[in-house]
A and B are shown apart, each in its own frame.
Chain A
């Protein structure tokens, strides 16, 4: 808890930039060690992320949910909470909104789209609020409870799409949502397309920014995250704000899952969440829990992820991307290490 608040007070640009560059450098050394050319690999990565119209569309499509899970984790950090449960919240949100969306066949878009958005957020919010409540009422650490809730969500989803809410044929999946509930498509290239979900994600950036910086709720949540005892002494309820922060964090993750349903798959599929919850942690840390920073960090991580397929074709396993992310998080966690290194370098320059 103590360390979490220190994050925000850090040098907001230096630490993440240093972490990203160092991780890419270490990954390059690994590639050299296995006899691959890192310049070729990173070239393939950049081409795979930005090289063609299709690549860019694919990249922005992947950025959409990552902005939302990044905001979800980042908002949690601001409140002093480590929400590792974005994946579970995303699943429950997507399931609930898919169910509603599949029942909207007779309704116009101006009813079905808002209704899906709202149910997706409610699903994620309720799932996360369980962890918030367990923390406040029972003192259970949110890291353990949200991870358990992730597993339970996966089992629930598997149960539901293998039984009561199953579409016939092929892999386990839910029925499709109504056409009226699908988001408009902005651009298409081959089999990939970019939906208006990117605007929903960008709107969420603005809303979270206003919420955190300009509202009473945001002030209280930050105060609790910064120093819960001082906040309580000042008349701010820790319990209420922890549950609220957790619920809003979950709502954002639920919205991420809903975007995957409304803009990409049009139904619930097991693979829909991927590793977006864990990616959200990397993104929030690189973005230093700042909504705008998170939007850029989401685009960065999405580019690395999208480009990694091309890199794999060029002969470097895309698991290297997970290593890169691990190193980034590690370096941001050990930020004193980064600062020591920077300080040491600066002193050396002065000495010379």
Chain B
């Protein structure tokens, strides 16, 4: 028992745990922000999982063919927005069932990435290694004890994620466009009466969700290693949705919830690298399920307190 306590303490005093938390949170923050944009305007987007996957794939493909990871990032975002556009088209223009359309796009993303992977790289499973986005070197700050180890050599996407939270908070709560987004998500009829173009605002929300979810996905593939593996989003889109719900559909709330999930995942990784779990290989599975159980408990326990936009998930059909 003492060995366990010691191992847990070792995790918390190690700066690597905090760095890993930042890295694991980044894709979740970005995708959860995507969810906030879409659902604030009243469109449920469970396709985040698929958009992340195609964003990750686009990142690697762009980097592979141009040699420039930033072009990869651009391609990933482009593909993510295209996928979001399909969702918007089905659920806004054609008032389709948003959840089913989202499920379809998840499958589509899995199929397209799996198929193209074989076509472009000649083998299933994973792509070749490509150039990844260079990490941010903080110079002499890297020598500062503890904090230097946390913040040196992070991906620029980590900073972009946190900047996006601030940007999105400002956009949604402090601008006219944000007011329109919220009114369209809560009462589209009233917004329509006041002259707001409900469809256009919803298109904006869904397309922005494509931008952010794809950025989150691209972080997975070209943020550090520079490789795409099949199904590498691995449920993060759904965890991001849970983070958005726990965060009460606000950018900052979603960010904190995403950090919580990132920390749980980083904690699990670090605890395993402490060696104590090598005593029994299968205990890693018990620890692996913790973030999902937390999600279940939190979604089940807190959802009464958090409140979705009133018209979330309901297509608006103009008479």
Assess A159 versus B114: contact at CB under 8 Å? Given A138-B301, A151-B292, A329-B104: no
Contact indicator B238/A147 (Cβ below 8 Å): yes
Pick the contact of B99: A82, A320, A322 (CB < 8 A): A82
Residues facing A in B186-211 (CB within 8 A) are: none
C-alpha spacing A329/B46, complex, angstroms: 14
Smallest CB gap from A338: residue in B = B94
C-alpha spacing A3/B98, complex, angstroms: 8
Q: Digit string of A134-164 for contact with B (CB within 8 Å is 1, else 0)?
A: 1001111101110111011001101100110
* B-chain residues with CB within 8 Å of residue A340 when the two chains form the complex: 94
Q: Digit string of B272-301 for contact with A (CB within 8 Å is 1, else 0)?
A: 000000001111011011001101100111
Contact indicator A322/B110 (Cβ below 8 Å): yes
Smallest CB gap from A2: residue in B = B314
* A-chain residues with CB within 8 Å of residue B269 when the two chains form the complex: none
Residues facing B in A276-333 (CB within 8 A) are: 278, 281-282, 285, 317, 319-330, 332-333
Pick the contact of B281: A143, A156, A162 (CB < 8 A): A162
Contact indicator B96/A281 (Cβ below 8 Å): no
Contact indicator A334/B295 (Cβ below 8 Å): no
From residue A280, how far is it (CB to closest CB) to chain B in Å? 11
Assess A327 versus B94: contact at CB under 8 Å? Given A163-B280, A319-B111: no
* A-chain residues with CB within 8 Å of residue B292 when the two chains form the complex: 148, 151-152, 155
C-alpha spacing A159/B241, complex, angstroms: 27
- In the complex, B304 has a CB within 8 A of chain A: yes
- In the complex, B9 has a CB within 8 A of chain A: no
C-alpha spacing A329/B314, complex, angstroms: 19
C-alpha spacing A200/B1, complex, angstroms: 49
Main secondary structure of the interface of A (DSSP, over half): helix
C-alpha spacing A334/B90, complex, angstroms: 5
Q: Digit string of B97-110 for contact with A (CB within 8 Å is 1, else 0)?
A: 11111011111111
Pick the contact of B303: A140, A143, A159 (CB < 8 A): A140
Smallest CB gap from B108: residue in A = A326
Pick the contact of B104: A147, A317, A330 (CB < 8 A): A330
Main secondary structure of the interface of B (DSSP, over half): helix
* A-chain residues with CB within 8 Å of residue B245 when the two chains form the complex: 144
- In the complex, B16 has a CB within 8 A of chain A: no
Summed over the interface, the residue pairs from A and B with CB atoms below 8 Å come to a total of 162
Contact indicator B108/A163 (Cβ below 8 Å): no
- In the complex, B86 has a CB within 8 A of chain A: yes
Contact indicator B101/A330 (Cβ below 8 Å): yes
Contact indicator A281/B103 (Cβ below 8 Å): yes
From residue B122, how far is it (CB to closest CB) to chain A in Å? 11
Pick the contact of B114: A138, A155, A319, A334 (CB < 8 A): A319
From residue A112, how far is it (CB to closest CB) to chain B in Å? 28
- In the complex, B77 has a CB within 8 A of chain A: no
From residue B270, how far is it (CB to closest CB) to chain A in Å? 18
* A-chain residues with CB within 8 Å of residue B282 when the two chains form the complex: 158-159, 162-163
- In the complex, B235 has a CB within 8 A of chain A: yes
- In the complex, A84 has a CB within 8 A of chain B: yes
Contact indicator A156/B289 (Cβ below 8 Å): yes
Contact indicator B90/A337 (Cβ below 8 Å): yes
- In the complex, A345 has a CB within 8 A of chain B: no
- In the complex, A4 has a CB within 8 A of chain B: yes
- In the complex, A109 has a CB within 8 A of chain B: no
- In the complex, B112 has a CB within 8 A of chain A: yes
- In the complex, B136 has a CB within 8 A of chain A: no
Interface size class of A (residues with CB under 8 A): 35 or more
Contact indicator A139/B304 (Cβ below 8 Å): yes
- In the complex, A271 has a CB within 8 A of chain B: no
* B-chain residues with CB within 8 Å of residue A139 when the two chains form the complex: 303-304
From residue A163, how far is it (CB to closest CB) to chain B in Å? 4
Number of B interface residues, CB 8 Å?
55
Assess A326 versus B104: contact at CB under 8 Å? Given A34-B119, A319-B111, A321-B111: yes
* B-chain residues with CB within 8 Å of residue A151 when the two chains form the complex: 235, 289, 292
- In the complex, B115 has a CB within 8 A of chain A: yes
Assess A319 versus B118: contact at CB under 8 Å? Given A134-B300, A156-B289, A158-B285: yes
- In the complex, A7 has a CB within 8 A of chain B: yes
* A-chain residues with CB within 8 Å of residue B299 when the two chains form the complex: 134, 140-141, 144-145, 148
C-alpha spacing A320/B315, complex, angstroms: 31
Contact indicator A330/B86 (Cβ below 8 Å): yes
Assess A155 versus B238: contact at CB under 8 Å? Given A148-B295, A333-B90: no
Smallest CB gap from A320: residue in B = B115
- In the complex, A336 has a CB within 8 A of chain B: yes
* A-chain residues with CB within 8 Å of residue B117 when the two chains form the complex: 319
- In the complex, B74 has a CB within 8 A of chain A: no
- In the complex, A335 has a CB within 8 A of chain B: yes
From residue B257, how far is it (CB to closest CB) to chain A in Å? 13
* B-chain residues with CB within 8 Å of residue A4 when the two chains form the complex: 97
From residue A246, how far is it (CB to closest CB) to chain B in Å? 14
Smallest CB gap from A33: residue in B = B119
* B-chain residues with CB within 8 Å of residue A2 when the two chains form the complex: 314-315
From residue B94, how far is it (CB to closest CB) to chain A in Å? 4
- In the complex, B242 has a CB within 8 A of chain A: yes
Contact indicator A323/B112 (Cβ below 8 Å): yes
Pick the contact of B111: A134, A141, A144, A323 (CB < 8 A): A323
Contact indicator A140/B289 (Cβ below 8 Å): no
Contact indicator B105/A326 (Cβ below 8 Å): yes
Q: Rank and list the top 8 A-B pairs by shortest CB-CB distance, nearest first.
A: A322-B111, A326-B108, A3-B97, A323-B111, A329-B104, A319-B114, A326-B107, A330-B104
Chain A contacts to B: CB under 8 angstroms: 1-4, 6-7, 30, 34, 82, 84, 134, 137-141, 143-145, 147-149, 151-152, 155-156, 158-159, 162-163, 278, 281-282, 285, 317, 319-330, 332-337, 340
What are 16 A-B pairs at a CB distance below 8 A? A82-B103, A140-B300, A141-B299, A144-B245, A148-B242, A151-B292, A156-B285, A281-B103, A317-B118, A323-B108, A325-B111, A326-B109, A327-B108, A328-B104, A330-B90, A333-B101
